[in-house]
Amino acid sequence: MAKSPDKSKDAQAPAEPADAATPEQQRIQVQIDDSSALAAYANFCRVTGTPEELIIDFGLNPQPFGIPTEPIPITHRIITNFYTAKRMLHALSLTVQRHEATFGVLETDVQKRVRPGAGGPPPPANR
């Protein structure tokens, strides 16, 4: 015989205001079909837009150090509204925060990540 849930604990818990609900409590399971999705790698993005839409271009920069000498080919473009962009910003922010909490802070300045002798540009010579 299955036990019925203990409702007395719920009755004793203090009521929270409706606006204090956490995102976990409001999470909705959405089913997706990614069978026709195309995957691509990008190490470059450019964000532009209009007052109504956000345009995000993705490409592969073949020269990640220094200023590229050739144009960077854009291979994918996403055009979205600002509401979706804000939801994407929140999801990306949470994901990066979790990653950094696990693996450490991500340094976005390539020059600060390069270690001499590790395949990057040589250190400046002391004279």
DSSP 99-118: HHHHH-PPP--HHHH--TTT
SS3 19: helix
Using alpha carbons only, how large is the chain's radius of gyration in Å? Answer: 23
Neighbours of 54 (CB within 10 A): 19
Using pLDDT thresholds of 50, 70 and 90, give the confidence band for residue 118.
low
Mean pLDDT of the chain: 80
- Copy the structure tokens of residue 108: 């976005």
Mean pLDDT of 100-107: 94
Q: For residue 70, give the nearest of 107, 44, 40 by alpha carbon.
A: 44
pTM as predicted: 0.62
Q: What is the pLDDT of residues 45-94, one digit of tens each?
A: 999 999 999 999 999 999 877 888 999 999 999 999 999 999 999 999 99
Is a pLDDT exceeding 60 seen at residue 1?
Answer: no
